[in-house]
Structure 1
Amino acid sequence: MSQGVGPELTARIAANVEAFVREVVVPFETDPRRDHHGAPTDELADELKEKARAAGVLTPHILPDGRHLSQRETAVVLEKSGLSPLGPVALNTAAPDEGNMFLLGKVGSEELKQRFLKPMIEGRARSAFFMTEPAEDGGAGSDPSMMQTTCRPDGNHWVVSGRKTFITGAQGAKVGIVMARAEQGACMFVVDLPDPAIRIEHVPNTIDNSMPGGHATVLIDDLRVPADQMLGEAGEGFKYAQVRLAPARLSHCMRWFGACVRANEIAIDYANRRQAFGQFLIEHEGVGFMLADNLIDLKQAELTIDWCASILDSGAPGTSESSMAKVAVSEALMRIADRCVQVMGGTGVSDATIVEQVFREVRAFRIYDGPTEVHKWSLAKKIRRDWVKRQV
């Protein structure tokens, strides 16, 4: 059970984060430093992190003494960090780093924490999580049991080989968490990056571009990893993936909730300034009702996040609850982002504001950490299992 740091300290952290994002980060949204895929460069990310460090808001969900905010407290803070697409990058609350920090903090040895987790918390190292594999290889995607990447012991090392795809942040990362399968089952390793045995084959253009390093396809060719860099024991990889899974699903909801709050603010401002047919747009029922629906969806999403966070804080795994939250929140945020674009018309599909980017990012979020349909299928299987148990 997570005790957290209390509502007063949480409120102060969140207020400081919000002020930093609105006053310092937002002006950088038009900064031209982007790679050819449109993602912020590491130069831009590092400059923003330095400003966050100076303001005392870097990695705000982990206190200097190592304490981690509870999930409910984390939600309050990460929602504020998401008010700009650059906010999570600046504050070191972005995926996959936030989820990887959570995992290493929970299951890493003290040596691994010092070597890998500490520079991540300090914002001096980005990370990547190597699990998804190319469909053309028949590899793991929404079904991790299909994993094709293998690992085998060799003296006091393990040798890992395979291909991975859509590995967020792989280009430029300094820490990698790699999943592979052995005879005993799935295994998870923490590795230094770059490594000559891990080669980036391709970084595709994707609908989203808020995360440094893109979503790479990677070849792992006889990567040698010391045995003490395995998390847990051989065969426990899926167990540790579950430690990361539910909180990571939920933190995606938190960050993109903040982005949609901001997009809705922009749409409201536009609707109250723009006139058409002799009235402000907000006075037209078709527009006003869309913004009213946004308020309803935002509140329902906020409450769903808080509910799921409370389940995780109780110590429960929250697998089904996080699936429900991921579906409900991602679908609600998609509706909100779409309405914001619609309210703003041509301006909404342009780069005049961040509304167009938020729409793209949230569309991708419906796939991150499991598509809506996979979560519904998983929940349906649970419904069946629970019904069968009640019959005996």
Structure 2
Amino acid sequence: MDFSIPDDLQALKGRVGAFIRDEIIPCENDPRQSPHGPSDAFRRELNARARAAGLLAPHMPAGLGGLGLDHRGKAVVFEAAGYSLLGPLALNIAAPDEGNMHLLEQVADERQKRRWLAPLAMAETRSCFAMTEPSPGAGADPSALLTRYRKVAGGYVVSGTKWLISGATGAAFCIIMARDEASPEGEPKATMFLADMDRPGIVIERTLDTIDQSFPGGHCVVSFHDLFVPEEDVLGREGEGFRYAQVRLAPARLTHCMRWLGAAQRAHDVATAYARQRRAFGRALIDHEGVGFQLADNELDLHTCRLVVAHTAWVLDRGGKGRHESSMAKVICSEAIWRIVDRSLQVLGGLGTTGDTVVERIFREVRPFRIYDGPSEVHRWSIARKLAREAVQ
């Protein structure tokens, strides 16, 4: 298992790093950012910079304007982009669009790719993914899915409510998960539907106030009131929604780890620089073991996360489904990255609680990572269930 980075990928990492440093970090205090994310005008400006640098949507195939990166390539480039919270948005590799692009590339038919994937890959549009529902609907337990569909002449009618739908405001289209209203409770038959967000029957009820603020369009409550979806807008095959969800979620969990590793490295770098120059009790902070050991632990966690990401990318690049590996990677990295950022803020002391460094912002942005795409507790439960099945065999 060779984890070395080829020369061409190392060069690309350098290009991305320089782009983030020179073009994106200077934009981090742009006023076109609200509690519900950067404006679309600001996003398009950042995308234009990445396009001019030849770095837009590098995970997409060349036919869609990308660089055709495999998962190992993504691990290197996505981390470099994540060094700024605006970096993934600029390169068009941010959630939920990056995961939706992957899903559409794998599952959509050619007409659907032309209509929805091509403009999304070129950053002409944004998208959202509507699966999570308010209680008692689906969250970590997808079998609790309450949004229903029924077959009618020429298509389907979808009804239900979703929440925490990232990027819904301003999105051009939505991928909707719904269950057949005739399917039994427990393990329903689920289907994915594609729908333009301006269709009659789609209502954005409200935008939720959340701890994070980096998603354009915020996180919304979206209702579907007898939404008609033509047969040709079913994504993949009817009844295969849960299988397609895994097609999307396994790689998406890993790309989250990649992007947040970049942010964690940024927080660590800020804290380390401060600990080298700030003095207390006659010595630089870093020379005090209480501080130096925290930074050493950051290095250990960063190293571990990169190995975990590299191994999981290796599995996916060789055709493995990677569901179990990505689940473990998500827990390991989300919790380690949280520790890195928390320690970094602690090293900064009072400065870390202010907006005078980016660490305070990263601290807020990274906390939900332990919850979305499956909270750590659910992944641990899934791993334990796998162990139980193996013991029985």
Distance 2:53 2:82 in 1: 17
**Among residues 148, 154, 157, which one is paired with 2:155 in the alignment?**
157
The CA deviation string for residues 149-171 of structure 1, in whole angstroms up to 9 with x for no partner, is 00111111211110000000001
2:36–2:217 Cα contact (<8 Å) kept: no
1:61–1:77 Cα contact (<8 Å) kept: no
Q: How does 1:63-82 map to 2 (within 5 A)?
A: 63-66=61-64, 68-82=68-82
Aligned to 1:140: 138
Moved over 4 A (4+): none
Distance 1:333 1:322 in 2: 16
Aligned to 2:365: 361
2:62–2:68 Cα contact (<8 Å) kept: no
Greater Cα offset, 247-256 or 203-212: 203-212
Distance 2:211 2:258 in 1: 20
TM-score w.r.t. length of structure 2:
0.94
Is it true that 1:34 corresponds to 2:38 in the alignment? no
The CA deviation string for residues 91-137 of structure 1, in whole angstroms up to 9 with x for no partner, is 101000000000000111011111100001101111100000001xx
**Among residues 381, 387, 391, which one is paired with 2:385 in the alignment?**
381
1:132–1:140 Cα contact (<8 Å) kept: yes
Distance 2:33 2:76 in 1: 29
Distance 2:13 2:282 in 1: 41
Greater Cα offset, 261-270 or 58-67: 58-67
Q: Counterpart of 2:238 in 1: which secondary structure?
A: coil
Letter in 2 for 1:25: I
Aligned to 1:55: 53
Identity of aligned residues (%): 52
Letter in 1 for 2:288: H
Greater Cα offset, 232-241 or 191-200: 191-200
**Among residues 313, 316, 322, which one is paired with 1:312 in the alignment?**
316
Aligned to 2:186: none
Letter in 2 for 1:132: T
Distance 1:95 1:362 in 2: 13
Is it true that 1:283 corresponds to 2:287 in the alignment? yes
Q: Counterpart of 1:129 in 2: which secondary structure?
A: strand
Letter in 1 for 2:96: P
Aligned to 2:271: 267
Q: How does 1:249-264 map to 2 (within 5 A)?
A: 249-264=253-268
User: Structure 1 residue 336: deviation in Å?
Assistant: 0.2
**Aligned length, in residue pairs:** 381
The CA deviation string for residues 14-52 of structure 1, in whole angstroms up to 9 with x for no partner, is 2221111111100111111122x2521112111111111
**Among residues 186, 202, 205, which one is paired with 2:190 in the alignment?**
186
The CA deviation string for residues 253-281 of structure 1, in whole angstroms up to 9 with x for no partner, is 00000000111111111111111111111
Is it true that 1:322 corresponds to 2:326 in the alignment? yes
User: Structure 1 residue 63: deviation in Å?
Assistant: 4.1
**Among residues 235, 240, 246, which one is paired with 2:250 in the alignment?**
246
User: Structure 1 residue 196: deviation in Å?
Assistant: 3.2
Letter in 2 for 1:152: R
Distance 2:46 2:126 in 1: 14
Aligned to 1:87: 87
Letter in 1 for 2:372: Y
2:37–2:216 Cα contact (<8 Å) kept: yes
Q: Counterpart of 1:383 in 2: which secondary structure?
A: helix
Q: Counterpart of 2:38 in 1: which secondary structure?
A: coil
Q: CA RMSD in A?
A: 1.3
User: Structure 1 residue 9: deviation in Å?
Assistant: 3.5
Q: How does 1:196-215 map to 2 (within 5 A)?
A: 196-215=200-219
Aligned to 1:128: 128
The CA deviation string for residues 336-360 of structure 1, in whole angstroms up to 9 with x for no partner, is 0000000001111111111011111
2:158–2:227 Cα contact (<8 Å) kept: yes
